[in-house]
Chain A
Amino acid sequence: MAEPLSLSILVPALEIVGLVKRFDSSTAVDGIDLVIPQGELHALLGPNGAGKTTLLRIVAGLIRADAGRVAVLGHDVGSHPIDAKRVLAFLPDDPLVYDKLDAVEYLEFVAGLWGLDAAVAAKRAEGLLRWLELWPKARQRAEGYSRGMKQKLALAGALIHEPRVLILDEPLTGLDVAAARQVKDLLIDRVKRGGTVILTTHILEMAERLAERISLIRAGRIVAQGSLDELRAKAAAGSGGTLEEVFLQLTATPS
């Protein structure tokens, strides 16, 4: 972060070249190229089993790709995984919070994992917990939390080290209307302040409203990419087509 802003802004937040991941029986990611500049909110859309989660897990350094290259803010995930992870937060769709830790202890642990200064972490933890309305229950063990509260706590964990690139897999599952709204506002706010947000979602309305660019993924490949208008044009669904129509048309299995 010591590097001058004018130079660092040119480095893409995420750069993926020729990424391939095969499992025994199938190819989950089949040659994906993707460049996401800093300060963009990018949505990955695709049917179940399209390879979205595998793609995100490779970016987060949880599994290793068979071929291709991934760089987060210029840090190669394959050769310099620690540098890449330092600027990144990954929130899985069903995140784990420790049942036997309370909210403050959980955030203290996550902050420790990212090597944050304890005083800074404590201040941020309180801010996040207050903002997410978890503060009254902050000293209760998470085993007593509802699903939505656990989800919020995991989100706080993802934000505590102020990642420059935030990756979320289905971020709104299990959240009530108010919390979902909070998360959406937060994502927009982060992007405004120069952060980068990459998310997968099934909620098309969310992608339609928030995302500047959308990548449609099917069978491990990106089949279409661009702003909503560009996708509409590609699908020739007419200018009034909703993302749902565009989505169904572009991801339909050719029969």
Chain B
Amino acid sequence: MTLLRPGSGPWLLHHELRLAWRRLGGVHSRIWAGLGLLVWLAFHGVPYLLLRMAGSEIVAPGLSLVLGAALWFVFALMLSHAITLAVDVLFDRGDLDLLLASPIAPATVFLVRGLGVAIACVTLYAVLLTPFAHAGLATGHLRLLAIYPALAAMALLAAASGMALTLLLVRGLGARRARTAAQLLGAFVGAGFFLAAQAGSVFGDERVASWIAAVRHASEGSVAAQATGLVRLPFAAMVGELPALAVLVLAGFGAFALVVAATGRHFLAGTQESVTDAALAAEPGGPVAPFRSGLWRVVLVKEWKLIRRDPQLIGQTLLPVLYLLPMIFIWGRQSQGNPVFVPAVVLAATTLASGLAWVTVAAEDAPELVAAAPVALEQVRRIKLAAALLPVWFLVAPLLVHLALGDARVAFVFAVCVLGSTISVGLVHLEVSKPGDRRKMRRRGSGNWLGGVLEGAVALSWAALAWCLLAAPLFAPVAAAAAFAAPLAAMLIGRSRRGRASPP
């Protein structure tokens, strides 16, 4: 236990991991961990069989390029995760004051923070890749043990890049806006690689194949050879090619050390405070605009203003849509008749409407004020719902025009399904949403599983209906029944709850 001496680095890291663990799961986390461990042990069989079949040459030379590219994709996902985590551990968690005020060297504090980020973003991939190292041990491919240092280096590089990007954003935008920007950046990194992976469908398979051939052909040239070397670098490192491993380990550990040191300096200089200060100071005085009246107008204006002034909220609402964008983009470029395009947009519009409806209907900041006002609460809630749905309809309107110019039938299905699904998901929020805090947008699902299930049912059934109407009309009645069942269920549940809440 000398390793965990209070105040030491390992002790602090233990604290960090304990917090991460508790945030992850509730009461059942131990059971899940046990199950996960069993699955992981069983998974060792796959690499064992693969390696038994492979000879001394583990993979064909051509395949190493593909696997290298796949590992770069893994790195992009790690980076995306690391950015989100860095925002959390450097700004959101708020315990840095306590740690920095204690007699522990700030360098240790930030070193542990960085390690925490690295460990969190590598865990999943370590679970998937370390069995190859262990199987290598059993089958005589000892060089595969290089997976351990190579993965560690990749994780450190991701953590370092994520923390550096976050700090740069904070310096440029201020702590509050940087959080949103970092989340969006993280999502874009992930979505960007997805888009790149879909290059075949965007540009046509033949053209991409010809590029690859061109690269292969040119790889006798030195520049292209370097590019090829870079692409296969992570793979080469993992199969124990010493130069590649050395480069990766040096880059990972070096970048990590530099960024950890820079982070400490940045915090002690009080940079984040100065930026936050400046943002607060910029509050220009001016003549008061004339007041508005009319319930519809004041409620709509209030909701839209609050959403517009909360970039974090916008970011979190748009995040799920962002993941759908590449698909919409890809299928939209293909022929008008692609039956997946309309359902995908319906799904995206429903997700967006659901997020916004939760914000306006459930996450009222001053529920007592609204309830105490001499207006019908139901009417206010309906206006709030309109405040959520109108922007979504406004956003998809150009798509409707685009579709109508091509095929009126597709446009009609699109309009009906978008209207139906957004209104349905709004109804679900009106009836079963629980009051929430808009700062906790990301965790809005917890404690209201029924609402979550109904939201999901609405989104999927309306998307399915759109697909059936366009591609398989025979099944449309089934999908339509499901599409109407979810909001109907929400209304019945809401009615019975209200009946119980207020006896006559």
Contacts and interface: CB of A to CB of B under 8 A. Distances in A.
B286 interface: no
B19 A115 contact: no
A198 B93 CA distance: 26
A64 B274 contact: no
A110 interface: yes
Given A86-B103, A100-B23, A115 B7 contact: yes
B312 to A, nearest CB: 19
A26 B277 contact: yes
B278 A23 contact: yes
Interface string A27-49: 01000000000000000000000
B277 A115 contact: no
Interface in A61-117: 61-64, 81-83, 85-86, 88-90, 92, 95-96, 98, 100-101, 109-116
B101 A116 contact: no
B297 interface: no
Contacts of A90: 97, 101
Contacts of B105: 82
Interface string B93-126: 1110111111111100000000000000000000
Contacts of B15: 109, 112
B101 A25 contact: no
A54 B272 CA distance: 13
Interface in B85-99: 93-95, 97-99
A118 interface: yes
B503 to A, nearest CB: 31
Contacts of B94: 96
Contacts of A85: 101-103
Contacts of B98: 95-96, 110, 113, 157
A145 to B, nearest CB: 16
Contact of B269 (A63, A96, A100, A110): A63
Contacts, number: 88
Contacts of B504: none
Nearest to B94: A96
A64 B273 CA distance: 12
B449 to A, nearest CB: 19
Interface in B442-460: none
A60 B101 contact: yes
Contact of A98 (B7, B19, B106, B278): B19
Interface string B1-42: 000001100010001000100110000000000000000000
B328 interface: no
Contact of A113 (B99, B270, B274, B277): B99
Interface residues of A, number: 37
B270 A63 contact: yes
Interface in A166-223: none
Nearest to A88: B101
Contacts of B501: none
Contacts of A3: none
Interface in A226-249: none
Given A98-B19, A100-B22, A64 B101 contact: no
Given A62-B101, A88-B101, A100-B23, A112 B7 contact: yes
Nearest to A112: B6
A63 B265 CA distance: 9
B278 A25 contact: yes
A114 B23 contact: no
Nearest to A118: B6
B268 A63 contact: yes
Interface in A105-159: 109-116, 118, 157
A63 B273 contact: yes
B112 to A, nearest CB: 12
A89 B93 CA distance: 20
B291 to A, nearest CB: 28
A21 B104 contact: no
B275 interface: yes
Given A60-B101, A110-B98, A112-B6, A100 B274 contact: no
A64 B106 CA distance: 12
B288 interface: no
Contacts of B19: 98, 100-101
Interface in B274-322: 274-275, 277-278, 281
B274 A23 contact: yes
B275 A24 contact: yes
Contact of A62 (B22, B95, B100, B104): B100
A93 to B, nearest CB: 11
Contacts of A23: 270, 273-274, 277-278
Given A24-B274, A109-B15, 11 more contacts: A23-B277, A25-B278, A64-B270, A82-B103, A88-B101, A90-B97, A98-B95, A100-B23, A101-B19, A114-B102, A115-B7
30 contacts: A21-B270, A23-B274, A25-B278, A25-B281, A54-B270, A54-B273, A57-B270, A60-B100, A62-B97, A62-B101, A62-B268, A63-B269, A82-B103, A83-B103, A90-B97, A92-B97, A95-B97, A95-B98, A98-B95, A110-B98, A110-B102, A111-B6, A112-B6, A112-B15, A113-B6, A113-B7, A113-B98, A113-B99, A113-B103, A113-B104
